[in-house]
Amino acid sequence: MPSPRPYKRQLRNLLIHRPLQREYTLLMLAVMMVVCLVVSFVIHATMKQAFLGSPYRIGRVSPYEVLSEVNNLLVVRVSLTLFMSVLVATLIGIVFLHRVAGPVYRFRMTLKRMAGGEIPEDMRLRDRDYFTEVAAEFNNVFKYLRGKKNSTIEIAENLEKISSSENLKDPVRNELQDMAQSLKKW
């Protein structure tokens, strides 16, 4: 039996990144509206061609044959239209989601570098990328960590100065030098 969720599912939990999800939803709605218009135009044009532009006359040819031919034309044309619309929607989705995947990839690589002990340079994203606010927060963390690292180095240098004093006993001096070395490793 699956464990219960730690949160109650609500609309605000489904909309994690509102601008991204709103734009993608509107984009897909617009694509589907255009597809509906194109399909209706194809149906209209096919029916018009079958009844008005065809050399057939309803009096000479049975309506079943005309409708059968129209049905075949509609199946082919609507299928091609839907295939092309799915292809276009896929390409638009890839381009659109690239604006999401790029920053997520950059965040992942930055976190890997940080896990290796490095404090990366400030993160810059492309102008139209999403999650610029997250990149700004990363940059604040980097600035804070650089400040802490500089303070730690300064403390280590002060400990070395103190440990070089001649008034200290050897155990205290060794302890201070060990502390300074361990601070410098950070």
pLDDT digits (tens, 9 = 90+) for 3-17: 565 555 555 555 566
What pTM, to 2 d.p., does this model score? 0.59
Q: Are residues 61 and 116 in the same domain?
A: yes
Non-local CB neighbours of 184 within 8 Å, separated by 6+ positions: 153, 156
What is the number of domains present in the chain?
2
Residues 164 and 96 in one domain: no
C-alpha to C-alpha distances, 148 to 9, 121, 152, 153, nearest whole angstrom: 39, 15, 6, 9
Domain span holding position 183: 146-186
119 within a domain of the structure (yes/no)? yes
Residue 39 lies in a domain: yes
pLDDT confidence bin for 162, thresholds 50/70/90: confident
Q: CA of 84: how far to CAs of 34, 81, 90, 125, 182, in Å? A: 12, 5, 10, 32, 63
Q: Strand ranges (DSSP E) for the chain?
A: none
| pLDDT (average), residues 159-177 | 83
Residue-wise pLDDT tens digits, 49-106: 766 655 545 556 666 666 777 777 777 888 888 888 888 888 887 777 778 888 888 8
Both 70 and 105 in a single domain? yes
92 and 165 fall within a common domain? no
**Which of 147, 103, 142 shows the shortest CA–CA distance to 125?**
103
* Shared-domain flag, residues 67 and 153: no
**Do 77 and 38 share a domain, yes or no?**
yes
Give domain status of residue 137, yes or no.
Answer: no
pLDDT tops 80 at residue 146 = yes
- Reference 146, options 119, 183, 115, 114; nearest CA is 119
Say yes or no: 39 and 62 in one domain.
yes
Q: Are residues 183 and 125 in the same domain?
A: no
Same domain, 37 and 120: yes
Residue 120 falls within a domain, yes or no? yes
Are residues 21 and 104 both part of a single domain?
yes
Assess whether 76 and 151 both reside in one domain: no
Q: What share of the chain is helix, strand, coil (3-state, %, to 5)?
A: 75, 0, 25
- Same domain? For 111 and 151 the reply is no
Residue 7 within any structural domain of the chain: no
DSSP string, 3-27: PPPSS---HHHH-SSHHHHHHHHHH
